[in-house]
Copies of this chain bind each other. A is one copy, B any other.
Amino acid sequence: MPRRSEEHLEMRRQQIVRAALRAFARDGFHATSMADVIRESGLSAGAVYRYFPSKNDLVVACASTVFDAVRGALAATLAAPEPVPPDRALRHILDTALQRATENADGIDFSRVAVTAWGEALRDDALRAVVRDLYAPLRADLTAVVARWRDAGHLAPDADVEAAGQVLFGMLPGFLLQRLLIGDVEVDRYTAGLRVLTASPDTVGNRRATG
């Protein structure tokens, strides 16, 4: 029997991931079963289970399609000859995530899938571990952006760059939620908002040093 080409396997895999993303974005994680994904994909149960033995394997694959793109954009940022200011790194991430969210062929809004995943992860230890393993490297990348910015002399040598990485990372779900639930935020203005907080010569940080 001829071995199937790598290309064919990857296309088939992507077909299943797209079907899962459609179902997750529409119905949420909890309400979506493997049977729903199989139906949505138009493939046999055996074919789907061969690629993804469990729903959590599908979750990892779905999330990775977004995270790989975001971390790819950040990798370019981190490799640039000049250190990039934290707000520009934030903008790269949001632009990349939203571009993936709005321009993919199926019109799936990945950010809806993320919000759904958070709620389910609270009641599902395996899913929470999946989410944690996906988020930790992205947050580490953001911490690296801040560390590079510090090493270039823009921050104090003893600046707590991990705490700053937590804050930058924390601004991402805050953006997605306001976009989905309130509907009045956009990337340029949000990242400008970070600059407002950092734009004063008499900075917040300096004022607080004594407080």
Contact B88 A155 (CB under 8 A): no
Q: Cβ of A54 < 8 Å from any Cβ of B? A: no
Bound complex: CA A165 to CA B192 (Å): 11
User: CB-CB < 8 A to A119: which residues of B?
Assistant: 28, 115-116, 118-120
Contact A118 B196 (CB under 8 A): no
User: CB-CB < 8 A to A204: which residues of B?
Assistant: 85-87, 149, 154, 194-195, 198-199
Chain B minimum-CB-distance residue to A152: B202
Q: Mark A123-165, 1 if CB is under 8 A from B, else 0.
A: 1000010011001100100000010010001111001111111
Chain B minimum-CB-distance residue to A111: B122
Q: Cβ of A9 < 8 Å from any Cβ of B? A: no
Q: Mark A173-211, 1 if CB is under 8 A from B, else 0.
A: 111011011100100011011111111111111111101
